[in-house]
Chain A
């Protein structure tokens, strides 16, 4: 750090050691048995307003010095950024922190984990007509040591674990999938092996398989405008894509225009931009127990905390870094800088971006109060434009709501909308008892690309006059 101070206005270094275990079955046989480990150092420097970052796999002093030398050379070779804003001030991070868990997933015998997966897979194959069955387990453990030229030094260790199941049924040109507890890899939490067991994958398997087959003969979701009830993963993804990404301050400031895109949200919109109905309250909270966006410090040493994003339907804040916060005059970073391992530099990412619960009671209460509409809970496909304005989502399955009751299942459900209009149409959100964190395991952003695991808390919500059956 002394060497860095002499040539850079700011520098930080992160040592990161990562362990990943992925196990899966496929049609009753064990399929994926992967164990990945890596460690190294990433050094980030700011020289004349330009950033340089270099990552090396070694962990010795010479490796760190080599990375620093390259980072400085790269930063100095960039066109200078003379009007670069100073970094927002931040108390110096010092200490140690570990996420909590009951049972270390990496210490559980492989045979024990595989037995659960095989039992779940067997449950999926009890339904004739299923072509493909999958059961997955995944565990992640990340250790970090961070130091900066401002004197920050911290150690942090995070353990995450979870899994899921899926069944695919095929008939002629049609293919239908059902997943539990979520698609795209299942549900993972900042927790230990106990979370994987709590998912009770074998118990849910027969229903999941049965629904996959039933979808082949279910009526298609009709095209039209109707009331839409979203819950679970689909609502979490809706929050993620149309709120979370839209309020990333690097996007808002145009820094991500070349890849992830920009945002319809203006940098000066706090307190004035109407994001949705007055029922919409969103908080980015890096302190939620079990969340994949939960940590003590972010990857530039800012302490995680709850940050209001939307209050009573009006924009209240951004996901930010020390640099971007400073640029728009915020007095402090939102603590949202996260990096994908030691080989990537931190960028503005989501913590746990949560839709706060309302007062509409249980999901059953909400359905009973709805009259007619459509309910979607599990995502199959998603797409949103580069300003996070126009979106189109497809679910695995939907259920008709008729006369206040959940009716028959519908296949190929989809819906589309315009972000502020859609959130503006929200007239009910279920009560706190229905609120839970969902996980998204593959949020992509940055160049070179970075994958981040994030969580979103939400309770089922109702949206009026939404276009469905669009795909």
Chain B
């Protein structure tokens, strides 16, 4: 792996206190719309981050050039920034990268076939999706994507590197009447993903029988599929488990650790090596990732920290291995391997059984946090929203806008399905960072909808 050697060279350029993180991305993404290939993108790029602490400030610089001159220039930019900070602002709070609980050897989550980035394999997957959709008389839209990522870190005295792969495909089928259905799958190995199965599943939802119903704004019992649950958990992570926001008094769990914040059946933790997740063994500061219980039996347990937020929190707080950037990301640390424990329901159909009149949600879309301390979010439903009547899904439902507190929904959670799935979106802004939430389907009461959508 080039990242190990490169991170060592980068750290050497930075000096004795420097930390270097090197991330190489090789990825291929094929997009399609209405049964046609529309865009395809292959990327081969590397990011070298050098972070240099100086009197409690961290100067950080990056480059994608890997020769010694470029690394020396990158290190110099980081060094100048840290020193300028000290000159302008006195002592900072960053404790340095020295004290470590770092993994000496990293475990690969890697599939060689996925790393081949084979466009023929992707083209074949698109054809399979198109054919399946055409068989049902619906249009197929979506993406197929595979990637290999190498990541390595180094300080003056230690370092590690690991290689990861990830694959993702989503299919949205749109029926002639405009109704749509969604299916997606994500894995370390591209061989786990079946284009025909995804297209079949999406087509079934798009073609669900019955006239479309409409519901006025109000509070309804809801059965969320795992993808929607994943979004709720992800939004909660930003509001509640961000150790920086928590230390600054802005977090939703500020003053609430140890309190009941959700129904007792809610058990949520960050499990970086869970068999269904996209594993990673160290964070962006090289810290070993380990399971972290966040909500146990509905009781808030902990928040995630990086080196910066732990130092700010004080009272013995230590990094939990959730840094997104060396020295701390501007928005704070983040749990990227959330796992919500399953419950006793066999499947989503069983979750629907007690519901006299309610809403079945396949996925949420365009979610945004409204008031973080209340975990109040808003989002619209999309690609598979149905009416539940007398215990079963009966007909399509016009999409709705959900505006509710995530902790409120988790407090009103009545049941969870046994099976957990990896809910991921294949959204890759900047350097590719594949992650998702392993979670079951969920039924909650009194979920608030504030308007229509779609």
A, B co-complexed: yes
Hey, which bits of chain A sit against chain B, CB under 8 A? 22, 24-25, 27, 29-40, 50-57, 70-71, 73-75, 77-79, 81, 109-111, 114-115, 118, 131-132, 168, 170, 173-175, 254-259, 261, 343-345, 347, 380-387, 389-390, 392, 394, 412, 414, 416, 444, 447-451, 470-471
Interface residues in B, total, Cβ within 8 A: 92
Instruction: Give the contacting residue for A448; candidates B38, B47, B429; CB below 8 A.
Output: B429
- Residue among B47, B65, B88, B139 with the most chain A CB within 10 A? B88
In the complex formed, the residue of B with least CB distance to A255 is B33
Q: Known A32-B330, A79-B130, A131-B250; judge A383-B65 contact (CB<8 A).
A: no
Is B59 interfacial (CB 8 A cutoff)?
Answer: yes
What does the 1/0 interface line of B77-90 toward A look like (CB < 8 Å)? 11011101101110
**Residues of chain A within 8 A of B85, CB atoms compared:** 30, 33, 110, 114
Does the CB pair A38–B63 fall under 8 Å? yes
Does the CB pair B89–A39 fall under 8 Å? no
In the complex formed, the residue of A with least CB distance to B450 is A470
In the complex formed, the residue of A with least CB distance to B429 is A449
Task: List residues of B (53-106) whose CB comes within 8 Å of A's CBs.
Answer: 57-65, 74, 77-78, 80-82, 84-85, 87-89, 92-93
Tell me the bound Cα distance from A110 to B60 in angstroms. 13
The stretch of B22-30, B276-284, B344-352 in contact with A is: B22-30
For this complex, 17 residue pairs linking A to B, each with C-beta atoms less than 8 Å apart, are A32-B330, A33-B57, A35-B61, A35-B77, A36-B63, A57-B65, A74-B30, A77-B119, A78-B30, A114-B89, A170-B254, A254-B139, A257-B172, A258-B33, A383-B378, A384-B366, A471-B370
**Residues of chain A within 8 A of B428, CB atoms compared:** 447-449
Is B36 interfacial (CB 8 A cutoff)?
Answer: yes
Top-3 shortest CB links A-B? A449-B429, A77-B119, A110-B84
Q: In the complex, what's the smallest C-beta–C-beta distance from B26 to chain A, in angstroms?
A: 10
Q: In the complex, what's the smallest C-beta–C-beta distance from A435 to chain B, in angstroms?
A: 28
Does the CB pair B82–A33 fall under 8 Å? yes
**Residues of chain A within 8 A of B248, CB atoms compared:** 27, 131-132, 168
In the complex formed, the residue of A with least CB distance to B41 is A53
**Residues of chain B within 8 A of A73, CB atoms compared:** 119
In the complex formed, the residue of A with least CB distance to B126 is A79
Does the CB pair A36–B432 fall under 8 Å? no
Instruction: Give the contacting residue for A29; candidates B41, B89, B380; CB below 8 A.
Output: B89
**Residues of chain A within 8 A of B369, CB atoms compared:** 381
Q: In the complex, what's the smallest C-beta–C-beta distance from A344 to chain B, in angstroms?
A: 7
Is B374 interfacial (CB 8 A cutoff)?
Answer: yes
**Residues of chain B within 8 A of A25, CB atoms compared:** 89
In the complex formed, the residue of A with least CB distance to B399 is A385
**Residues of chain B within 8 A of A448, CB atoms compared:** 27, 29, 41, 43, 145, 428-429, 432
Q: In the complex, what's the smallest C-beta–C-beta distance from B375 to chain A, in angstroms?
A: 10
Instruction: Give the contacting residue for A34; candidates B37, B60, B180, B366; CB below 8 A.
Output: B60
**Residues of chain A within 8 A of B254, CB atoms compared:** 170
Task: List residues of B (270-297) whose CB comes within 8 Å of A's CBs.
Answer: none
Question: Total A-B residue pairs with C-beta atoms closer than 8 Å?
Answer: 256
Does the CB pair A111–B84 fall under 8 Å? yes
Does the CB pair B454–A390 fall under 8 Å? yes
Does the CB pair A170–B373 fall under 8 Å? yes
Does the CB pair A35–B126 fall under 8 Å? no
Tell me the bound Cα distance from A79 to B382 in angstroms. 28
Does the CB pair A33–B454 fall under 8 Å? no
Hey, which bits of chain B sit against chain A, CB under 8 A? 27-34, 36-47, 57-65, 74, 77-78, 80-82, 84-85, 87-89, 92-93, 119-120, 122-123, 126-127, 130, 139, 141-143, 145, 170, 172, 174, 180, 248-250, 254, 330, 365-374, 376, 378-380, 382, 399, 401, 403, 426-430, 432, 450-454
Tell me the bound Cα distance from A24 to B329 in angstroms. 12
In the complex formed, the residue of B with least CB distance to A81 is B36
Q: Known A110-B80, A385-B365; judge A78-B126 contact (CB<8 A).
A: yes
**Residues of chain B within 8 A of A37, CB atoms compared:** 61-65, 74, 77
**Residues of chain B within 8 A of A173, CB atoms compared:** 373-374
Q: In the complex, what's the smallest C-beta–C-beta distance from B142 to chain A, in angstroms?
A: 5
- Residue among B30, B87, B371 with the most chain A CB within 10 A? B371
Instruction: Give the contacting residue for A110; candidates B42, B81, B403, B452; CB below 8 A.
Output: B81
Q: Known A386-B366, A394-B370; judge A471-B429 contact (CB<8 A).
A: no
In the complex formed, the residue of B with least CB distance to A82 is B36
- Not counting A34-B62, A70-B42, A343-B43, a sample of 20 additional A-B residue pairs whose C-beta atoms are within 8 angstroms of each other reads A30-B88, A37-B65, A38-B62, A38-B64, A53-B42, A71-B42, A73-B119, A74-B28, A79-B123, A110-B84, A111-B88, A114-B89, A131-B249, A258-B33, A383-B378, A387-B454, A389-B454, A392-B401, A416-B450, A449-B429
- Residue among A24, A257, A347 with the most chain B CB within 10 A? A257
Does the CB pair B120–A77 fall under 8 Å? yes
Q: In the complex, what's the smallest C-beta–C-beta distance from B333 to chain A, in angstroms?
A: 14
Q: In the complex, what's the smallest C-beta–C-beta distance from A65 to chain B, in angstroms?
A: 14
Instruction: Give the contacting residue for A257; candidates B37, B44, B141, B330; CB below 8 A.
Output: B141
Tell me the bound Cα distance from A137 to B407 in angstroms. 35
Q: In the complex, what's the smallest C-beta–C-beta distance from B227 to chain A, in angstroms?
A: 14
Tell me the bound Cα distance from A390 to B370 in angstroms. 17
In the complex formed, the residue of B with least CB distance to A59 is B65
Does the CB pair B40–A53 fall under 8 Å? yes
In the complex formed, the residue of A with least CB distance to B376 is A471
Q: In the complex, what's the smallest C-beta–C-beta distance from B133 to chain A, in angstroms?
A: 12
Does the CB pair B40–A52 fall under 8 Å? yes
Does the CB pair B38–A51 fall under 8 Å? yes
Tell me the bound Cα distance from A170 to B246 in angstroms. 12
**Residues of chain B within 8 A of A54, CB atoms compared:** 41-44
Q: In the complex, what's the smallest C-beta–C-beta distance from A258 to chain B, in angstroms?
A: 4
- Residue among B27, B58, B85 with the most chain A CB within 10 A? B85
Instruction: Give the contacting residue for A383; candidates B29, B84, B368; CB below 8 A.
Output: B368
- Residue among A55, A78, A79, A380 with the most chain B CB within 10 A? A78
**Residues of chain A within 8 A of B81, CB atoms compared:** 33-35, 110
Does the CB pair B45–A56 fall under 8 Å? yes
Q: In the complex, what's the smallest C-beta–C-beta distance from B195 to chain A, in angstroms?
A: 12
Q: Known A258-B33, A392-B403, A392-B450; judge A33-B84 contact (CB<8 A).
A: yes
**Residues of chain B within 8 A of A444, CB atoms compared:** 429
Tell me the bound Cα distance from A359 to B41 in angstroms. 47
Q: In the complex, what's the smallest C-beta–C-beta distance from B28 to chain A, in angstroms?
A: 7
Q: In the complex, what's the smallest C-beta–C-beta distance from B237 to chain A, in angstroms?
A: 17
Does the CB pair B127–A255 fall under 8 Å? no
Tell me the bound Cα distance from A258 to B92 in angstroms. 45
Tell me the bound Cα distance from A79 to B41 in angstroms. 15
**Residues of chain B within 8 A of A387, CB atoms compared:** 454
Q: In the complex, what's the smallest C-beta–C-beta distance from B73 to chain A, in angstroms?
A: 8
In the complex formed, the residue of A with least CB distance to B367 is A383
Q: In the complex, what's the smallest C-beta–C-beta distance from A177 to chain B, in angstroms?
A: 9
Instruction: Give the contacting residue for A471; candidates B170, B249, B450; CB below 8 A.
Output: B450
In the complex formed, the residue of B with least CB distance to A31 is B330
**Residues of chain A within 8 A of B29, CB atoms compared:** 447-448
In the complex formed, the residue of A with least CB distance to B174 is A257
**Residues of chain A within 8 A of B122, CB atoms compared:** 77
Does the CB pair A40–B141 fall under 8 Å? no
Does the CB pair B88–A74 fall under 8 Å? no
**Residues of chain A within 8 A of B366, CB atoms compared:** 383-386
Does the CB pair A254–B33 fall under 8 Å? yes
Q: Known A56-B45, A175-B371; judge A50-B61 contact (CB<8 A).
A: no
- Residue among A55, A118, A392, A416 with the most chain B CB within 10 A? A392
Tell me the bound Cα distance from A385 to B366 in angstroms. 7
Does the CB pair B44–A53 fall under 8 Å? no
In the complex formed, the residue of A with least CB distance to B61 is A35
In the complex formed, the residue of A with least CB distance to B30 is A78
Tell me the bound Cα distance from A338 to B43 in angstroms. 17
Tell me the bound Cα distance from A55 to B379 in angstroms. 34
Does the CB pair A258–B45 fall under 8 Å? no
**Residues of chain A within 8 A of B250, CB atoms compared:** 131-132, 168, 170, 175
